[in-house]
Amino acid sequence: MKKEDYPRFTIIMRGYTKEQATEIVRAASDFGKHFAVEVTLNTPNALDIINDLNEKFGNLIAIGAGTVRTLAEAKAAVSKGAKFLLGPHTFSKDMIDYCHSKEVVTIPAAMTPSEINQMLVAGADIIKIFPAAVVTPRFFKDVQAPLGKLPLMAVGGVSTLNAQEYLDNGASYLGMGSKMFDAEVLETLDQSGLKETYRKLIQLH
């Protein structure tokens, strides 16, 4: 996929079963232009889940991989249809170049202005600021004052309760895990409850 097509919100699925992942994505597939879905590679059977979700919903919503740390992991995820890759730290230039050769969006992580600049120079599409809760929403505004407008994604401690604050401070993208959902909705995987969560996020400005 192209960077300009990457949606504002990323649903982070860490440790979910294939059944749980399927229901979460089924509900999100109605809002495909607003959401991407990340399966972290430290989830049991992650590659199988990525492959299965792509077969079922790949034409409706972007499915990708998270917690990608090496070139080998990047290649494995892309072989299963991952359209984008997120990492918990910076990516090597080899990882970024490989992904671009496959038209896969790269989203490495950074926590300092120097790391952000390093990843931009290396050609990363979007920079994941992680953990966002540690640097606080203000970081996004402050770091862009000298560096200019940047494609920054807030991940780590982002929830429906504080999402607007990150957007107000200049985050262009948000990644959310279990904090995206009410505990009961996550436990029951109720389609109407899941869709209502997605609708609330889409209404943010």
pTM above 0.85, yes or no: yes
Residue recorded with tokens 């109720």: 190
What's the start-to-end Cα distance of the chain, in Å?
24
Task: Provide the number of structural domains found in the chain.
Answer: 1
Residues 6+ apart with CB under 8 A from 121: none
Q: Say if CB 11 and CB 36 are below 8 A apart.
A: yes
Full pLDDT tens readout for the chain, 205 residues: 999 999 999 999 999 999 999 999 999 999 999 999 999 999 999 999 999 999 999 999 999 999 999 999 999 999 999 999 999 999 999 999 999 999 999 999 999 999 999 999 999 999 999 999 999 999 999 999 999 999 999 999 999 999 999 999 999 999 999 889 888 888 899 999 999 999 999 999 8
Task: Copy the structure tokens of residue 1.
Answer: 């996929």
- The domain containing residue 52 runs over which residues? 3-202
The CATH number of the domain where 83 resides is what? 3.20.20.70
Q: What's the CA gap between 143 and 39, in Å, rounded?
A: 29
Q: What's the CA gap between 10 and 174, in Å, rounded?
A: 6
Dump the DSSP string for 52-78: HHHHHHTTTSEEEEES--SHHHHHHHH
Q: Is 175 exposed, middle or buried, given 0-12, 13-18 or 19+ CB atoms closer than 10 A?
A: buried
Q: Say if CB 74 and CB 98 are below 8 A apart.
A: yes
For 151: left if phi > 0, alpha if psi spans -120 to 50, otherwise beta; the answer is beta
